[in-house]
């Protein structure tokens, strides 16, 4: 019997509450709604480390961040062995390589965000990158989408940042500089459709990873004007002290010039975030259409998920890297029509760590790694989230058990406790009021840190590491087009840069003509 096809579709920074069929009546997501109807919606799914690099390594290894030695946007640093031979030497083979050994044709398209090599070979038969930033001209040339623009649509090659302006424009509502049919999302969907159209005796394992809706949010026409800012809700805010307990929020806001955003601005920005999601939804629809054209559509397992969420002004925060639900909770849709009825809602605790085991088990070669057997209905009693290297001021952890969520921050030994059933927006910190629950969950975290080699540096004298509260030094992030030697607001060697720009313009005209 032929093994099922398996298709992972991933977005970056996609909030858990941005699917129409799951309760958001403002946003339009007809194709994700199709996936909801096609299978199971896991409404308590989480990222074990709510930021890009560790979350993505979790997906490709099935290992928890503390077993990867990757606790933030950094290169994995193994706990057990020397890193010289790469992540696979201590975590085991990447998912794509495992699926190839299981008899699958494999393709990966989109954003991978590997580190330190941004174009690391991950084991796919076909691997096409669409990364966000290009540090050098050589890196830009390696990028599938950047090369596509340069070679096939040079009329847009003058754009320094193909996905929208970053740095001080990170949270400024934007519009794509190119039409909908030529953006990175359209390119990603097109390449995925080409792979799905292949005729092959082997089943396929596909990984399709969209750059959006990660900021800057620059949807193309007409998605840039799809939503009225007056129809958007204001950000959710709780107690001012509780909202600001995690110093990462204030630090991150300042880092990306989001330190003084009012409600009107937040509503306006959200129209572009929603517009980007609706545009990506349309691109996903093209992929789903191609799957449904295939004779083995019913035997195709599809999973849609994100690496983490986006604060979008809630609790005064922007970006991710906190343990509020908006940051750490993710959408997770899993469907397999040949096996399961559609339209199911499941409230089990699910983690990105489970994806490796889901694919391996569906392929008939179960390998759960650090995850649980979701396909067999195994349940997770407790979920742990980790951020920041243990033993440093940035270290923090969360534990969810039942409806309770407890967060511990080493910087100041700060603690938060929320009952998500009664308080889904995390407005009231119950850590002082519910002392027994707080103590129980703190003990669970402490034992977890004592038992895992990658977390043991967080333990000091039998207790979780704590330092006097110290605000992080504020700094600004500059993300210009480094591949064109643009590193600051003042263009170095301005005349030389203008000369290079004019040369590029002339080459572009030649190609267009």
Residue 492 in domain: no
What confidence tens digit (pLDDT) does each residue in 402-427 have? 999 999 999 999 999 999 999 999 99
Burial of 342 (0-12, 13-18, 19+ CB in 10 A): middle
CB 464 within 8 A of CB 452: no
Residue 491 in domain: no
Measure the CA–CA gap between 83 and 97, rounded to whole angstroms: 19
- DSSP alpha helix (H) spans, 48-131: 52-61, 65-68, 88-91, 95-101
Instruction: Say what percent of the chain tops pLDDT 70.
Output: 94
pLDDT at position 506 is: 54
Give every CB contact of residue 68 below 8 A, 6+ residues apart in sequence: 54, 57, 58, 61, 76, 78, 87, 91, 454
Whether 262 has a pLDDT exceeding 80, the answer reads: yes
Rounded to the nearest 10°, the torsion over CA 337, 342, 344, 346 is: 20
Whether 160 has a pLDDT exceeding 80, the answer reads: yes
pLDDT at position 130 is: 97
Predicted confidence band of residue 79 (pLDDT cuts 50, 70, 90): confident
496: left (phi over 0), alpha (psi -120 to 50) or beta: alpha
Predicted confidence band of residue 512 (pLDDT cuts 50, 70, 90): very low
Residue 445 in domain: no
pLDDT at position 81 is: 63
Whether 501 has a pLDDT exceeding 90, the answer reads: no
The whole-number average pLDDT for the span 161-166 is: 96
Residue 411 in domain: no
The whole-number average pLDDT for the span 68-87 is: 82
Residue 98 in domain: yes
Residue 63 in domain: yes
Whether 508 has a pLDDT exceeding 70, the answer reads: no
Which range has the worst mean pLDDT, 83-87, 229-233, 306-310, 326-330?
83-87
What confidence tens digit (pLDDT) does each residue in 442-473 have? 999 999 999 999 999 999 999 999 999 998 99
Which range has the worst mean pLDDT, 249-263, 474-488, 493-507?
493-507
Residue 177 in domain: yes
Residue numbers of the domain that contains 184: 5-381+475-479
Which range has the worst mean pLDDT, 23-37, 80-94, 299-313?
80-94
Top-confidence residue, 504 or 396: 396
pLDDT at position 86 is: 84
Predicted confidence band of residue 78 (pLDDT cuts 50, 70, 90): confident
pLDDT at position 503 is: 56
Cis (ω within 30 of 0) for the bond into 125? Answer: no
CATH value at residue 161: 3.40.720.10
pLDDT at position 84 is: 63
Cis (ω within 30 of 0) for the bond into 159? Answer: no
pLDDT at position 2 is: 84
Other CB atoms closer than 10 Å to residue 199's CB: what's the count?
Answer: 5
Whether 493 has a pLDDT exceeding 70, the answer reads: no
- DSSP alpha helix (H) spans, 212-352: 240-243, 247-255, 263-293, 325-328
The whole-number average pLDDT for the span 137-165 is: 95
Predicted confidence band of residue 513 (pLDDT cuts 50, 70, 90): very low
Residue 217 in domain: yes
The rounded mean pLDDT for the chain is: 94
Our count of domains for the chain comes to 1
The whole-number average pLDDT for the span 326-332 is: 98
Other CB atoms closer than 10 Å to residue 446's CB: what's the count?
Answer: 18
pLDDT at position 159 is: 94
What confidence tens digit (pLDDT) does each residue in 164-205 have? 999 999 999 999 999 999 999 999 999 999 999 998 899 999
Whether 83 has a pLDDT exceeding 90, the answer reads: no
Joined tokens for residue 193: 């459709």
Whether 511 has a pLDDT exceeding 80, the answer reads: no
Predicted confidence band of residue 497 (pLDDT cuts 50, 70, 90): low
pLDDT at position 490 is: 81
The whole-number average pLDDT for the span 473-478 is: 95
Instruction: Say what percent of the chain tops pLDDT 90.
Output: 91
């Amino acid at each position: 019997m032929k093994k099922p096809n398996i298709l992972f579709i991933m977005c970056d920074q996609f909030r858990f509450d941005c699917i129409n069929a799951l309760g958001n009546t403002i946003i339009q997501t007809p194709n994700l709604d199709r996936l909801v109807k096609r299978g199971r919606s896991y409404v308590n799914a989480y990222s074990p480390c709510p930021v890009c690099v560790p979350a993505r390594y979790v997906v490709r290894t099935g290992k928890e961040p503390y077993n990867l030695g990757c606790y933030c946007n950094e290169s994995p640093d193994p706990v057990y062995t020397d890193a010289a031979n790469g992540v696979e030497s201590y975590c085991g083979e990447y998912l794509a390589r495992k699926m190839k050994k299981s008899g699958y044709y494999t393709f990966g398209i989109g954003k991978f965000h590997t580190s330190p090599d941004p174009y690391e070979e991950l084991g796919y038969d076909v691997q096409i990158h669409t990364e966000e930033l290009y540090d050098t001209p050589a890196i830009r040339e390696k990028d599938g989408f950047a090369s596509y623009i340069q070679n096939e649509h040079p009329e847009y090659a003058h754009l320094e940042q193909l996905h929208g302006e970053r740095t001080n424009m990170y949270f400024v509502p934007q519009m794509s500089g190119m039409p909908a049919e030529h953006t990175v999302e359209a390119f990603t969907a097109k390449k995925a459709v080409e792979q799905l159209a292949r005729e092959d005796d082997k089943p396929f394992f596909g990984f399709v990873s969209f750059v959006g809706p990660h900021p800057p949010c620059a949807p193309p026409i007409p998605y840039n004007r799809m939503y009225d800012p007056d129809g958007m809700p204001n950000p959710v805010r709780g107690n001012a002290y509780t909202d600001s307990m995690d110093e990462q929020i204030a630090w991150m806001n300042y880092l990306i010039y989001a330190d003084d955003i009012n409600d009107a601005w937040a509503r306006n920005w959200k129209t572009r975030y929603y517009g980007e999601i609706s545009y990506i939804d349309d691109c996903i629809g093209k992929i789903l259409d191609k799957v449904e054209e295939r004779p083995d559509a019913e035997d195709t397992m599809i999973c849609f998920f994100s690496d983490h969420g986006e604060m979008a002004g809630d609790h005064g925060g922007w970006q991710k890297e906190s343990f509020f639900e908006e940051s750490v909770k993710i959408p997770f849709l899993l469907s397999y029509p040949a096996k399961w009825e559609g339209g199911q809602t499941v409230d089990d605790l699910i983690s990105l760590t489970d994806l490796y085991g889901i694919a391996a088990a569906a392929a008939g070669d179960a390998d759960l790694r650090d995850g649980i057997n979701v396909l067999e209905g195994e349940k997770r009693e407790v979920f742990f989230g980790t951020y920041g290297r243990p033993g440093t001021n940035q270290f923090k952890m969360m534990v969810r058990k039942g409806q309770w969520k407890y967060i511990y921050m080493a910087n100041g030994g700060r603690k938060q406790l929320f009952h998500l059933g009664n308080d889904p927006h995390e407005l009231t910190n119950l850590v002082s009021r519910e002392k027994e629950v707080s103590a129980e969950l703190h003990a669970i975290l402490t034992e977890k840190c004592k038992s895992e080699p990658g977390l043991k540096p967080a333990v000091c004298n039998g207790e979780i590491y704590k330092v006097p509260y110290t605000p992080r030094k504020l700094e600004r992030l500059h993300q210009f087009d480094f591949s064109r030697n643009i590193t600051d607001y003042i263009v170095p060697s301005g005349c030389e840069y203008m000369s290079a720009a004019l040369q590029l313009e002339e080459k572009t005209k030649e190609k267009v003509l």
